[in-house]
Chain A
């Protein structure tokens, strides 16, 4: 394995200090998350019909992206973490789609 490479890249494995820590950005993200929560509650009050679920899921996904990128520091993280997350989500979506193939053709 290319251990040397890893050592160069990640400062002997101690990569957590790679980005500059700051309070401000995180507080801004938190305000954004609270606003999106208010939006999702408000939108639920409007009768959007079949669109309601889609809108709720889009807002929840945007909120999750904020949490993953900033609170979980993935934005500043190694590419490997991002690829892992992508693969994991892909597996989830494939199983979800396959389940619905079964559901829609069975009933």
Chain B
């Protein structure tokens, strides 16, 4: 009888202890593929309109600040590095260092968004917004360029915000010792999401800023 109870208790504990890191990782990757196809659709749209209006895209891209875009690229690459370093730190059992690295990532993400705010603000100031005075004087191709610019960088910015929330949540769990040196798949998943957002920017930067 007591034997039975013991095995039952063990079973319950086993259920509670059971973790499937591999399944968790696969789930994250499947989700990332839907993200790739979401942005992929927009990249295909970009390719089609750039093919139709090659000159207009060159003219319109002159409005963007290459320096600002470059700085944001460096910021995102650095934020990706600190996520990976955070994972390494947690794997080595250094919780404090891990959280410090993740704070740098959060800081970089916020600076990226602030830069974007100023970039978009400058464009609004120049009358480039839907029905804006400058946009109404532009050719069809330039209007398409700015439409794609706002949608793609906007959706990307939204992903930065979601990524920051995800990393913030994971940081809280690390702080509470819910995630530890031998249980960090959720941090890894947050990292995967953040790196995907980084990769999307790696393509957005040359496609929108570096056309001459």
Contact = CB atoms under 8 A, between A and B. Distances in A.
Interface in A47-73: 47, 52-53, 56-57, 59-60, 63-64, 67-68, 70-73
A98 to B, nearest CB: 9
A4 B33 CA distance: 28
Nearest to B189: A16
Interface string B168-210: 0000000000000010110010011001101100110111001
A84 B83 CA distance: 23
Contact residues of B: prevailing secondary structure: helix
A57 B206 contact: yes
Contact residues of A: prevailing secondary structure: helix
Contact of B87 (A21, A47, A103): A21
Given A67-B199, A72-B191, A72-B192, A27 B91 contact: no
Give the interface size class of chain B.
35 or more
A100 B50 CA distance: 12
A70 B192 CA distance: 11
Contact of A71 (B22, B70, B184, B191): B191
16 contacts: A6-B22, A10-B22, A13-B19, A16-B25, A17-B91, A27-B85, A30-B77, A37-B77, A60-B203, A60-B205, A60-B206, A67-B195, A67-B199, A68-B195, A71-B83, A96-B43
Given A10-B21, A14-B19, A60-B203, 16 more contacts: A13-B22, A14-B182, A15-B25, A23-B85, A29-B81, A30-B81, A37-B73, A37-B77, A37-B205, A44-B212, A60-B205, A71-B195, A72-B191, A72-B192, A81-B29, A88-B36
Interface of A: 6, 10, 13-17, 21-23, 26-27, 29-30, 33-34, 37, 40-41, 44-45, 47, 52-53, 56-57, 59-60, 63-64, 67-68, 70-73, 78, 80-81, 84-85, 88-89, 91-92, 95-96, 99-100, 103, 107
